Structure formats: C-alpha cells, structure tokens
C-alpha cells in the first residue's frame, strides 16, 4: 500500500504496509538516522509472503515523519562526553511512538522486529508494553552497556565527519559508510545501496535529526534491568563481522532476555545483505511461531 501518515501524540509518523491486512501484524523499527526504506522492499515482501501484515515506519526525526527542528541538536563534544542532558527525548519516548502507531492503526499487538537502534527501541517496547508485543526480534543491536556491543575502533572516525554539503556528497558518504560497516562475507551491492541512499536523502536528509536520535541512545543508557523483564518469545540476530555493533552486544542481549534464541549470520556486518535475508526471515518467522497470534478481536488501548 502507498505511504500514509498517522497522528501519534504531537507527531506525524509516516508508515507503509505490505501483505494481507487480515494477517498477524508485524512492526519493523529501523535504526539511527535511517528511514523505513532501510528495510528493503524485498525483505518486507518476504515477511509478508510468510503470512504477516508488515508495517514499517519512519521514526521521529527521520524520513517523512515529524522532525523536531525547533530543538537544537547536541554538539559533537556533548555526544562524545555522553552528556545525557543533551537529549531532547530518549529511547523510551521512541518506543512509545511505536506503541502509538499501533494505536493509530487499531492494532492491539504486533510481532516487533528492530534493527540496530530500532532493536533498542523494540526491546523497550517489549519490556514496557508486554501486552502490545507478541514476539521480539532484536537484530544487530545491544543492551546499552558501556563496553558491550560498542563500535570497533575503525568506526569511530565516522561519527566525527562533517555533514555532507549536497546531495551527491551525502550519497557518496553513505556508500563509504556501508563499505566500512557492511558485510564482508556477502557481495557488496553498490547499485542497491546507492538507490536506497538516494531515496533516503530525498525523503528528508537531516543530520541534526540523527544527532538528536544519537543523544536519545546515550541518554537511555544501560537497559539491562529492563531486558531481564522481557517475557515474550525473543530471537537475537547478529552478524559475526559487525563493526558498528560488535558481537558482544548480541551475546549480552541474549544472556539478559530469558529464553531468547541467539542466531549468528556468518559474514554479516551492520546491514541487511540480500543473500542473508532467508536466514534472517526464517529466524523471525520461527520466533513469531512461538507466540500466540496477536488478538485482533479487541480494540487498541
């Protein structure tokens, strides 16, 4: 279906759906500074073909959703100091956005899949709103622990880059980023990545919004205590070659969430390479099968 807008509190969230609206809903939550098209169309279609009504959306401050432009972004210095006062909101607020979208769509609950920062948001949705999350898939994410799942040394200079001056430079920067953090064990599909980078730029390039999201991650801190409270079926999916969120983040996540399954994708980095889709989709679907289907008979809270 075409993209649409939903009113969630004071925000407008842009979303798009795939598959049969009568099928069990599955909500996809994307990562830092990345619009919903970071979930490739074909990946969403693959989940829909496995029997889900897939919903992807732009988080606040990215894509076509509301950008909080009236809030000054934090400085690089404050981010490097991990200054929690630099944040205008935290990941809990972003988790509430996802729950608010379910409300707006009349969905009492959904299977929730999050990637990177989206995995952090999805974890908090499951911890704080257990009646709204049927199952959880945390993909290439971590627990917020200061030393586990942190970026590799080669990645840190990427955070210090000045914002690109124009569209061409921004797209080239995105390709350079994926060469650094992408999957060495899979083919590098530059044409596909360039297409996503072009579409992402045209849907709302906003480095200040990304900085506000990064501040939200830092302000939330270690989520370990909340992860221990998660009771829904959970799968943790991670690449063995992830330089952005190193594999220790996945091991820590799986240790903290009771009964979770840890699935390694050999050779995968911090992206969703096409050849890895079958294993990722299988893991998500297998985990969802451990849960009862979301109840559509009652109205949303």
Asked if residue 275 is part of any domain, the answer here is yes
Q: How far apart are alpha carbons 101 and 266 in whole angstroms? A: 34
- First vs last C-alpha separation in the chain: 25
Contact 1, 17 (CB under 8 A): yes
Which tokens is 32 given? 């830092």
Q: Of 65, 116, 183, 200, which one is the catalytic site residue?
A: 116
Helical H segments across the chain, by residue range: 41-49, 76-80, 91-104, 117-128, 167-181, 190-202, 207-220, 224-227, 248-256, 277-288
Evaluate whether 51 touches 24 at the Cβ level (below 8 Å): yes
pLDDT, tens digit, for every residue of 67-84? Answer: 999 988 877 777 766 777
Q: Is residue 22 part of a domain?
A: yes
Low-confidence stretches of the chain (pLDDT < 50) are: 296-301
Handedness of CA 129, 134, 140, 142 (dihedral sign): positive
The catalytic position among 67, 111, 238, 270 is 270
pLDDT at position 178: 93
* Cβ count within 10 A of residue 259: 11
Indicate if 116 belongs to the active site. Answer: yes
Within a domain: residue 82? yes
Q: Tell me the pTM.
A: 0.93
Active site residue 41: no
pLDDT tens for 30-40 read 999 999 999 99
| Structural domain count of the chain | 1
pLDDT the model gives residue 4 = 97
Instruction: Give me the pLDDT at residue 151, please.
Output: 83
Range of the domain at 24: 4-288
The answer to whether residue 293 is domain-embedded is no
- Identify whether 300 is part of a domain: no
Q: Which CATH number belongs to the domain containing residue 43 in this structure? A: 3.40.50.1820
Confirm whether 63 is domain-assigned. Answer: yes
**Selected catalytic residue, list 238, 242, 260, 271:** 242
């Amino acid at each position: 279906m075409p993209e649409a807008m939903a009113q969630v509190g004071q925000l407008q969230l842009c979303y798009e759906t795939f598959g049969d609206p009568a099928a069990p809903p599955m909500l996809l939550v994307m990562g830092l500074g990345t619009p919903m098209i970071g979930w490739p169309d074909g990946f969403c279609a693959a989940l829909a073909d496995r029997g889900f009504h897939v919903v992807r959306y732009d988080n606040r401050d990215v894509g076509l959703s509301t950008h909080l432009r009236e809030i000054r972004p934090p400085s690089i210095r404050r981010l490097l100091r991990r200054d929690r006062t630099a944040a205008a909101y935290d990941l809990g607020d972003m988790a509430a956005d996802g729950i608010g979208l379910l409300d707006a769509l009349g969905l009492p609950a959904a299977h929730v899949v999050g990637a990177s920062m989206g995995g952090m948001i999805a974890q908090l949705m499951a911890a704080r709103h257990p009646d709204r999350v049927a199952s959880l898939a945390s993909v290439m994410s971590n627990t917020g622990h200061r030393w586990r799942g942190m970026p590799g040394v080669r990645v840190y200079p990427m955070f210090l880059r000045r914002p690109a001056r124009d569209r061409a430079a921004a797209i080239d920067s995105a390709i350079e980023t994926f060469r650094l953090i992408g999957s060495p064990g899979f083919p590098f599909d530059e044409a596909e990545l360039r297409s996503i980078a072009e579409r992402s730029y045209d849907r709302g390039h906003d480095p200040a919004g990304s900085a506000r999201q990064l501040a939200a991650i830092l302000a939330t801190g270690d989520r370990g205590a909340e992860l221990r409270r998660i009771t829904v079926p959970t799968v943790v999916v991670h690449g063995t070659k992830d330089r952005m969120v190193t594999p220790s983040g996945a091991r820590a996540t799986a240790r903290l969430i009771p009964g979770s399954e840890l699935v390694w994708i050999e050779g995968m980095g911090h992206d969703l390479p096409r050849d890895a889709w079958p294993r990722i989709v299988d893991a998500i679907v297998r985990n969802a099968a451990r849960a009862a289907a979301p109840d559509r008979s009652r109205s949303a809270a």
